[in-house]
Amino acid sequence: MISTAFEYQRANSLDEAIKKLQETGGRGKLLAGGHSLVPLMKLRMSEPGILIDIARIPGLAGIREKDGKIEIFAATVHHDVASSALLAEKCPVVAETAGEIGDPQVRNRGTLGGSLAHSDPSADYPAVMLAVDAEIHLKGPKGWRIVKASDFFQDLFTVDLAADEIIGGVQFAAVKSAGYAKLHQRASGYAIVGVAAALDVKGGVITSARLGLTGAGSHATRMTNVEKALAGQPLSAKTIEAAAKIAGEGIKHVNADIHASEEYRRAMIPVFTKRALEKAMARS
Amino acid sequence: MAQISITVNGKVRKADVEPRLLLTHFLREQLNLTGTHLGCDTSQCGACTVLIDGRSAKSCTIFAVQADGAAVTTIEGLAKDGQLHALQTAFWEEHGLQCGYCTPGMILSAVDLLQKNPKPSEQQIREGISGNYCRCTGYQHIVNAVQRAARG
């Protein structure tokens, strides 16, 4: 399948990319790994007139610890996140989630920033970004702007990102007691339902919890009812069992497609919530 | 048109290409390297897998302009001085193919896997080739072949 014709440009800095985006007058799209965009272009569901390749911008890929937080730059490919020794030690759920995306070839090319900007309703990263309460750092013509993950994902393929802004990276406080559990769509690897759970635990008591759900609705969301049910409770299998039961309650719209009916997806939300919480407990 | 220069199987190949030309079509139609197969054309089946700077990638999901300046290895570039690569020999000896359509992609994915993990478990091999489909469903012999290559 061949995409519509486009003009190809390359940017060597974020500022150059922003300037180029402005010059396209809305006809331009950014290209990094291309593993969300290129398939859409081949299906002609996306027909940008200009592609601005940002994959070669120096310093736009990498993972580091900064001021007690973890920072992942936007053009970091999933494989590098999945195999990061820093993440394995400090915040294994992020590496675990990256390792669940697609397949090895996809993980060698696809990038964190691309996945977040695209916000596929079945993408894995949005769920874990919600669970670790990540800040998404965006750069536009007026400089940097920080958006909480919980505000970033707004609707189907819709995020808080202006046409002339670029994701530079994400920052989050490391949390060890966190896990990701996912029901795979076998051919594509996308999540039919995916749940990322992070627990803050003090003296055997859950002081707070954050749960991100993907695959179920138009975009990834927090499951605040489960979070409230966990907060203040002793960390135990019983607590998890009870809290997971109410996962998905109150969600108005749940997706249905050839892979899973709405009823099936609704049934799987508590199942995978429990599994994610069990992983989180095992790491606490 | 865009000017590109890609080192394919050790040889620098320069060309003027339309930006929308996929790497898989560049390899197959402009360089006549038809060992790279095009299967599903939707980033799933892995028949089009090549190595870009040593890492496995689906060439149906990459514009040739994105690989400008990179080193690409296709199945035609694996044998050195007339000697088959250890994985090619192992696929032969273990009969790791039936129709052969998925084989180039399977082998290149296995090259990436063994670079990252020279002694993979059976489960790790199955995960390592999870981006490649064999519609003859001959997975067992493929796994056997990767195990044989890993044993050396």
How much is the pTM?
Answer: 0.97
Chain B residue with Cα closest to A38: B61
- Classify A213 as helix, strand or coil: strand
B19 vs A7, A79, A108: nearest CB: A7
| ipTM value | 0.97
**How far is it, in rounded angstroms, from Cα B72 to Cα A171?**
34
**How far is it, in rounded angstroms, from Cα B15 to Cα A49?**
22
Chain B residue with Cα closest to A107: B57
Domain positions in chain A? 7-51, 63-173, 178-283
Average pLDDT, chain A: 97
**Where residue B152 falls among pLDDT bands split at 50, 70, 90?**
confident
Backbone angles phi, psi at B52, to 5 degrees: -115, 115
Neighbour-count burial of A271, counting CB atoms closer than 10 A to its CB (0-12 exposed, 13-18 middle, 19+ buried): middle
Task: Give the containing element (helix H, strand E) for B54.
Answer: none
Q: Which amino acid is at A181?
A: A
From B47, B76, B105, the end of a domain falls on B76
B63 to A103: CB separation less than 8 angstroms, yes or no? no
pLDDT (tens digit per residue) in A95-153: 999 999 999 999 999 999 999 999 999 999 999 999 999 999 999 999 999 999 999 99
Interface contact B130, partner A, CB < 8 A: yes
Residues of A in contact with B113 (CB under 8 A): 104
A31 to B55: CB separation less than 8 angstroms, yes or no? no
B20 vs A6, A39, A53: nearest CB: A6
**Where residue A83 falls among pLDDT bands split at 50, 70, 90?**
very high
- Domain with B102 in it: what CATH number? 1.10.150.120
Q: Cβ distance A107 to A77 under 8 Å?
A: yes
Query: For residue A69, what are the β-bridge partners?
Result: A66, A173
Residues of A in contact with B116 (CB under 8 A): 83
**How far is it, in rounded angstroms, from Cα A121 to Cα A117?**
12
pLDDT (tens digit per residue) in B110-124: 999 999 999 999 999
pLDDT (tens digit per residue) in B26-58: 999 999 999 999 999 999 999 999 999 999 999
- Domain with B14 in it: what CATH number? 3.10.20.30
CATH architecture of residue range(s) A63-173? 2-Layer Sandwich (3.30)
How many independent structural domains does chain B possess?
Answer: 2
Indicate whether A218 pLDDT > 90.
yes
Q: What tokens appear for A91 in the block? A: 């915040």
A106 to B22: CB separation less than 8 angstroms, yes or no? no
B24 domain-assigned: yes
% chain A with pLDDT above 70: 100
Q: What tokens appear for B85 in the block? A: 């690569």
Interface contact B108, partner A, CB < 8 A: no
Instruction: Please provide the CATH number assigned to the domain covering A7-51.
Output: 3.30.43.10
% chain A with pLDDT above 90: 98
**How far is it, in rounded angstroms, from Cα A111 to Cα B66?**
14
Q: Which range has the top average pLDDT, A24-28, A66-70, A83-87?
A: A83-87
Whole-number Cα distances in Å, A115 to A101, A125, A127, A157: 10, 7, 11, 10
Q: What is the pLDDT of residue A188?
A: 81
Tell me how many degrees the CA angle B136-B138-B144 measures, rounded to the nearest 5. Answer: 160
Same domain, B72 and B6: yes
Q: What CATH superfamily is the domain A178-283?
A: CO dehydrogenase flavoprotein, C-terminal domain (3.30.390.50)
From B22, B47, B76, the end of a domain falls on B76
Range 57-86 of B in CB contact (< 8 A) with A: 57-58, 61-63, 65-66
Q: What is the pLDDT of residue A189?
A: 85
Strands B11-17, B55-58: parallel, antiparallel or unpaired by DSSP?
unpaired
B136-142 contacts: CB < 8 A, separation 24 or more? B136/B97, B136/B98, B136/B99, B136/B102, B138/B96, B138/B97, B138/B98, B141/B94, B141/B95, B141/B96, B141/B97, B142/B91, B142/B96, B142/B97, B142/B106
Range of the domain at B147: 86-151
Same domain, B60 and B102: no
Indicate whether A214 pLDDT > 90.
yes
pLDDT (tens digit per residue) in A178-213: 999 999 998 888 999 999 999 999 999 999 999 999
Chain B residue with Cα closest to A103: B131
